[in-house]
Amino acid sequence: MPRDLKIGTRGSALALAQARWVAAQISGRYPACRVELVIIKTTGDKIQDVPLAQIGGKGLFIKEIEEALLTGQVDLAVHSLKDMPAEMPEGLMLGAVPPREDCRDAFISSRYAALAEIPAGGRVGTGSLRRRVQLLHRRPDLTVVPLRGNVDTRLKKMEILRLDALILAAAGLNRLGLAHIYRGCVPESDMLPAVGQGALGLEVRLADHDLRELLAFLDDPPTRLAVTAERAFLARLEGGCVVPVAALGRVEGDSLVLSALISDLEGRRVLRDQRSAPVAEAAGLGSQMAESLLAAGGREILAALYGRSI
């Protein structure tokens, strides 16, 4: 299936590593395909000194890439799926969702082996509202310091600010060959991952049937089912980086098990539940989970954040 392919990607080290992996898979499968990476700077890349929740949340790292995809400047976009809003622009779709990397959050510290070892008053860095609320829920005696930037920037800030620990996505560190820098992962029971964390989203034009067929070999059904449930949960909550929510789906035999949570901004009130359904009902399971948590008090929490009911 020979054709030229332009892959749109951000220019960060992680984004390039992910896009190069996809390009290598395509070239390996279809040697006649000529694959080119096109680096596109996004709003999220341009604004580095403001927390994501203050500048619009999800979509900040993909909007410009999606525009290039819609106008035909690129044929395919490679995203970290957790950066993608639950609702996709008209004319675009997920052409493939490759096998998921480790979805957990990595614990980085030169002083302590685990979160539980940090003494009261300790300082932990993260740029994620989701991580912040779960940290404060488990350890209200800690101070959470907001950090943004690439991995190297955050590691430098950790030293400069004399932080006791740093929390980053394990998947990104693994893809960058940096698994050796973290001590372990925070258990999912203590820190539920972001929707789509550890997964890649290969976005294409809905009308590009040939490319969708070409990418089919990269699609991993268990991962797609899991993130379908997670994203349906997020869609019902109208969530983004401004909302402290988390979800993780897993295929177990013929069932899909989904864990999810909604929290207030300080981690004082955290609502969490786990449900299962047949794999064919992945999207319905996500929506049902959302309704369950909304009824359990999530509607009140989100109304305070949105300034309106949902």
Catalytically active residues, by annotation: 83
Answer yes or no: are the C-beta atoms of 85 and 196 closer than 8 Å: no
Which uninterrupted H or E stretch holds 222? helix 221-237
Answer yes or no: are the C-beta atoms of 159 and 152 closer than 8 Å: no
Enter the tokens of residue 70.
Answer: 């819609």
Largest Cα–Cα separation, the chain:
60
CA distances from 211 to 147, 170, 214, 216 (A): 38, 30, 5, 9
User: Up-side HSE of residue 26: CA atoms within 13 Å toward CB?
Assistant: 29
What stretches of the chain adopt beta strand conformation (E)? 4-9, 34-39, 76-80, 92-96, 105-108, 123-126, 143-146, 165-169, 184-186, 200-205, 245-252, 255-263, 270-278
